Amino acid sequence: MKEKGNTFRLFWIRAHVGVEGNERADALAKEAARTKKTAPNYDKCPLSFIKHSIRKNTLEIWNKRYQNGETAALTKLFFPDVYSAFGVVRRTRLTPIHVQVLTGHGGFGHYLKRFKCKDDSVCDCDPANEGSVLHLLLDCPKYCKDRYELERKTDMKVQKETLDVLITNRNCQTAFLEFSTKVAKAAINRNKTKLL
């Protein structure tokens, strides 16, 4: 424009307040976007590649925070990294009970005592045992039969070292979620009764 001898100045104006030139420019931009029949300016690579790159970058940042964080100790037993968690969350319909089990945040004795909703955190099986999610899933004698059934279905021992496989492996996941739901519902209902 300068080469043609024109002068111009830039001004900031509020959008969509009836300024005639701005409204006209907005209408022309929308029309061009709707009616343009040429290839997009970003067609040098597929849009799916861009989305994949952004998702990958986001997951890397999230994983660093997750790995270096001092919280979520229980969740890290199920999901040692964000990639495994992301895969499960994307393809599995988790219920609120599942989330409580995977995070330990729910109506379990250990959690309720921590937030002073309950005087003790003991399990009904033995006053020496804490009513934590780990105790209920791995050790509580009340669920020996259910635990045995889960081990038989999955061909895997239920222990701390296998929790990640039980939740991320598609062949084990359904059986594990059914088992953990049964255990969690029973514990939550018992604690709810005690609170009342």
Domain boundaries, the chain: 73-195
The yes-or-no verdict on residue 80 having pLDDT over 60 is yes
- The residue among 99 and 115 whose pLDDT is bigger is 99
The pLDDT of 181-193, averaged and rounded, is 87
Other beta carbons less than 10 A from residue 132's beta carbon: 21
The yes-or-no verdict on residue 179 having pLDDT over 90 is yes
Lowest average pLDDT, out of 95-104, 121-130, 131-140, goes to: 121-130
For residue 76, what pLDDT band results from cuts at 50, 70 and 90? Answer: very high
Contacts of 159 (CB under 8 A, 6+ apart): 138
CB 194 within 8 A of CB 118: yes
DSSP 95-142: -HHHHHHHH--SS-HHHHHHTTSSS--EETTEEEEE--HHIIIII-GG
CB 118 within 8 A of CB 195: yes
CB 71 within 8 A of CB 40: no
- Average model confidence (pLDDT) across the chain: 89
pLDDT at 43: 67
